[in-house]
């Protein structure tokens, strides 16, 4: 490995437990970048209203944001692994519930409520990964490189996610 002063991203990825942990967080965080457009289109198609779809997106974003401190408190009290697992399973089930709702023509209000529920169980994978980096990359130079690499990859997800969500077969 080069000197810690000249740490590279590949040096960070070679650290023990990093590939699995980072890949897991990356896959989970990709859902955030992929959820907005399909949610918008699904609610709009089901309700017939762009305004209702916008309200659903706002409800998703509001609950994801405003309930973040409560999810963080749960993680602090009960531990990262069990809470993130529970939130990931619940969050993973929400697109399925919304797809079922769209197929049986739920009302716009019901779709908005389920969009809000999806936001309320969005696991805080970005903050959890940033906390995990401090245990995975103990040297300050590696930690700085890990956090910067993590930030760049997360931003790339938000760039690529909507494109991937918009692809049609």
pLDDT of amino acid 169: 45
Using only C-alpha atoms, the chain has a radius of gyration, in whole angstroms, of 18
Least-confidence region, from 7-11, 85-89, 104-108, 126-130 = 7-11
pLDDT classification of 160: cutoffs 50, 70, 90: confident
| Distance between CA atoms of residues 114 and 85, nearest Å | 20
DSSP state of 15: S
> Concatenated DSSP letters for 33-99?
HHHHHHHHHHHHHHHS-HHHHHHHHHHHHHHHHHTHHHHHHHHHHH-HHHHHHHHHHHHHHHHHHHH
Highest averaged pLDDT of the listed ranges 32-36, 122-126, 159-163: 122-126
Q: Rounding to the nearest 10 degrees, give the CA dihedral for residues 34, 38, 40, 46.
A: -160
* Better-predicted residue by pLDDT, 32 or 85: 85
Q: State mean pLDDT over 51-57.
A: 97
Q: State mean pLDDT over 22-31.
A: 90
* Better-predicted residue by pLDDT, 56 or 162: 56
Distant-in-sequence, close-in-space partners of 12: CB < 8 Å, separation ≥ 6: 18, 137, 142, 145, 146, 149
| Model pTM score | 0.85
Residue 48 has pLDDT above 60, yes or no: yes
């Amino acid at each position: 490995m080069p000197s810690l002063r000249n740490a590279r991203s590949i040096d960070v990825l070679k650290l023990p437990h990093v590939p699995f942990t980072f890949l897991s967080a990356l896959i989970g965080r990709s859902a955030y970048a992929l959820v907005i457009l399909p949610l918008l289109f699904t609610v709009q198609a089901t309700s017939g209203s762009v305004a209702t779809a916008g309200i659903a997106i706002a409800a998703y974003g509001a609950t994801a944001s405003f309930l973040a401190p409560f999810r963080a408190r749960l993680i602090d009290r009960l531990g990262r692994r069990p809470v993130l697992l529970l939130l990931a399973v619940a969050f993973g089930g929400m697109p399925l519930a919304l797809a079922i709702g769209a197929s049986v023509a739920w009302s716009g209000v019901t779709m908005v409520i389920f969009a809000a529920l999806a936001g309320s169980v969005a696991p805080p994978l970005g903050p959890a990964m940033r906390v995990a980096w401090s245990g995975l990359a103990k040297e300050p130079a590696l930690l700085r490189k890990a956090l910067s690499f993590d930030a760049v990859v997360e931003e790339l997800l938000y760039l690529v996610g909507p494109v991937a969500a918009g692809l049609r077969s």
